[in-house]
Amino acid sequence: MSYSENKDRLLAQIRDGVKMLPRDQLALAAMLSVPSMLAQLVHIMMQYIDASMVGSLGAEASASIGLVSTTIWLFASLGSAAGVGFYVQVAHRIGAGEWTEARQILRQSFMACMVFAFTLTLIGLSISPFLPQWLGGNESIQHDSSIYFMIFVLCMPFSILNSLCSGMLRCSGNMHLPSFLNIMACILDVFFNFLLIFPTRTIFGITVPGAGLGVTGAALGTMLAYIICSLTMCYYVTFRSKELNLFQDKGTFIPQLNTLKRAVKIALPLAVEHVILCGAQIVSTIIVAPLGTVAIAANSFGITVEALCYMPGYGIADAATTLIGQSLGAKRRKLARSFGQITLSMGITIMTIMGVIMFIGSPALMTLMTPDVSVQQLTVQVLRIEAFAEPMFAASIVCYGIFVGAGDTMIPASMNLGSIWLVRITLASILAGTLGLQGVWIAMAIELCFRGIIFLIRFHGDSWMKKIQEVSPEKA
């Protein structure tokens, strides 16, 4: 039996109420996790290459991107939250075997998310000339920072479309195509960067064309990659997916009130959380900015490198959202808890291993990413601080994916916000003055450990599974 057939067989067992053996549960969790994990890891490796390309231009070029990176995350995460409100509904409908209703939600999600995307784009364009100055960046990096952010927000409709379609496919059990296309986006990003960042030059006697656009070229490369891959993803969802393609039945693309209400109920806490969470990250950037260009660059590189550890956790969290969503949609709470325990164990184990690798390998990795020795040394110091927090960071990431699959977003969002504002920001503001960037990262490590503990406590209760009202007896 092929991988695809075996995966579909096991997913059908969830919907059909068939008793699943522990080994089948583990196999299904691995089948859904591995493609997403690999895509996340490749994405990070491509980010390393991307950062290295910009880093070769000097500390100021890296700092100009690092300065606006937290604001970019804010806009990107708002778009992602909008998609979650719809694809969690689709996962519940699929778990209940209601395929027509799932496709109805998919249709309505397109228009709703695109209206939201263009709204974000207009807001971003209006603030892009002033943002770097607001964030406290040096005058020498403000222009490049502004241009980089402006190009990013122009790409918002494609970014949100990619996130929405990727989530829809994952919730239907198709992890391979989103993973493959996101890998392709990373490869295309590096290819376009290679042509757009650097001027025409000779490599091994071969003349390689280049636009020589520097930081602007990096932004344009990312934009082109997103356009190509998001449109490809949308085409597959709309025309080719056997579960979701919209030509199997008819329906309206105009968002209906009930669908919007449910989407808002799921997405609004996430959106508010992202605003306040990214607001906290922006405050962190403001705390780091006065420490100088080297600290800004090291902070940016550190965030990029640390993603090597936590992106596998997000891959497993994606699988957890699908498994929990379908299990609870099928009214199988015991199975949902079992899948939650399995994915949590996977996430903590893998991110612990990645933390050890980061602690040992960060010096060698940083020599490849920037020639600036002072930036290298400072980045290694903060990464080794953060390595100790990776197990509990994994717990918070995977638990969050579990809760999202259950439609439980309000309390977890509040937990995230309380943790980062009361613990991280408070400690960072105190420690930065005496310990510099190391103090900021010590605060981050302490907060991540605290957050993981409180998420594990909530997981071991039952309240997160009660967001989906059960109207029939629970299946075995």
Across 83-105, b (16+ Cβ under 10 Å) vs e yields bbbbbbbbbbbbbbeebebbbbb
45 Cβ neighbours under 8 A, 6+ residues apart: 186, 308
Q: What is the pLDDT of residues 245-260, one digit of tens each?
A: 998 888 899 999 999 9
Backbone angles phi, psi at 57, to 5 degrees: -85, -10
Residue 209 pLDDT: 87
Q: What is the pLDDT of residues 413-433, one digit of tens each?
A: 889 888 988 999 999 999 988
Two tokens, residue 447: 């907060």
Residue 49 pLDDT: 66
Quick check: 78 pLDDT over 70? yes
Across 216-228, b (16+ Cβ under 10 Å) vs e yields bbbbbbbbbbbbb
Residue whose C-alpha is closest to residue 235's, from 171, 165, 155: 165
Please count the helices (runs of H) and the strands (runs of E) in the chain.
17, 2
pLDDT band at 51 (very low <50, low <70, confident <90, very high): low
Residue 408 pLDDT: 87
pLDDT band at 3 (very low <50, low <70, confident <90, very high): low
Query: Can you tell me the mean pLDDT for 92-105?
Result: 89
Query: Can you tell me the mean pLDDT for 3-22?
Result: 83
Q: What is the pLDDT of residues 285-332, one digit of tens each?
A: 788 878 888 888 888 788 878 877 888 898 899 889 889 988 988 888
- Per DSSP, the residues of 432-449 read HHHHTHHHHHHHHHHHHH
Judge contact between 324 and 336, C-beta under 8 A.
yes
Residue 54 pLDDT: 75
How many angstroms separate the CA atoms of 227 and 83, rounded?
17
Q: How many angstroms separate the Cα of 416 from the Cα of each of 185, 272, 278, 327, 410?
A: 30, 11, 11, 25, 10
How many angstroms separate the CA atoms of 107 and 246, rounded?
8
Quick check: 467 pLDDT over 80? no
Which letter does DSSP use for residue 250 in this model?
Answer: -
Judge contact between 155 and 227, C-beta under 8 A.
yes
- Lowest mean pLDDT of 63-72, 87-96, 106-115, name the range: 63-72
Residue linked to tokens 């936590």: 310
Judge contact between 449 and 392, C-beta under 8 A.
yes
Residue 50 pLDDT: 66
CA atoms within 13 A on the CB side of 153: 26
Q: What is the pLDDT of residues 146-191, one digit of tens each?
A: 999 999 999 999 989 998 999 899 888 888 888 888 888 888 988 8
pLDDT band at 473 (very low <50, low <70, confident <90, very high): very low
Residue whose C-alpha is closest to residue 177's, from 162, 187, 198: 162
pLDDT band at 474 (very low <50, low <70, confident <90, very high): very low
* 208 beta partners: 201
- Per the model's pLDDT, the better-predicted residue between 55 and 85 turns out to be 85
Q: What is the pLDDT of residues 123-146, one digit of tens each?
A: 999 999 999 988 888 888 888 899
Residue linked to tokens 């241009």: 147
Two tokens, residue 155: 């790409």
Residue 468 pLDDT: 58
- Lowest mean pLDDT of 1-5, 66-70, 335-339, 449-453, name the range: 1-5
Judge contact between 313 and 390, C-beta under 8 A.
no
